[in-house]
Amino acid sequence: MYIDVNMCEKDYRDILTHLFPKRIRRERACFIFASSTRLDTALHFNLSEWYAVKPNEYKFQSLGYVELKDEMRPKIIKKAFDLNASIIEVHSHPYNTPAMFSCSDFKGFKEFVPHVWWRLKGKPYGALVFSFSDFDGLAWIDSPQHCEPITKLVVDENSLQANNLSLSGANE
């Protein structure tokens, strides 16, 4: 399946500025709320709005790991429910290696995606990870246990290809 995430240039720049501030060298996160349109073998996520996680909403934050406070989960799910939107979780890996989801990311997906899937009545769920050089993405479209690669970001008229490095460990 072909999967993309569509957004305007301003949102894209604002998200990257949030994920990679000038002085802070820690992972950071945000959430995209998106409509989703399925056409044959393609799924298009279209950004409606996004939410930048604030410093006091992290339970733990370091260069190699980020964890949100427990109250963030229901807050994000409620926002998506109110907007009738899918959720795309986004976080940074602020180092000079290709973007790839970590073992702790996959552990979090196994716990969180089925819960969101149930709460949002089977809406597709996505995840993006950005490094300084590129990004990777996964989406759960037909099942909370099986994901597929997000192929690209469409920023206005520009297409940015995902590196798809996480795919090999995604459905293990």
Domains in the chain with CATH codes: 2-170 (3.40.140.10)
Reference 26, options 90, 96, 97, 92; nearest CA is 92
pLDDT band at 169, cuts 50/70/90?
low
Q: Which pTM does this prediction carry?
A: 0.96
pLDDT band at 170, cuts 50/70/90?
low
Supply the pLDDT for residue 25.
81
Query: What would the mean pLDDT of 77-82 be, rounded to a whole number?
Result: 98
Sign of CA dihedral 17, 46, 166, 117: positive
CB neighbours of residue 80 within 10 Å: 24
Long-range contacts of 34-41 (CB under 8 A, 24+ apart): 34/5, 34/85, 34/86, 34/87, 34/88, 34/126, 35/84, 35/85, 35/86, 36/86, 36/123, 36/124, 38/141, 41/1, 41/2
Quick check: helix, strand or coil at residue 72? helix
- The Cα–Cα gap between 78 and 72 comes to 10
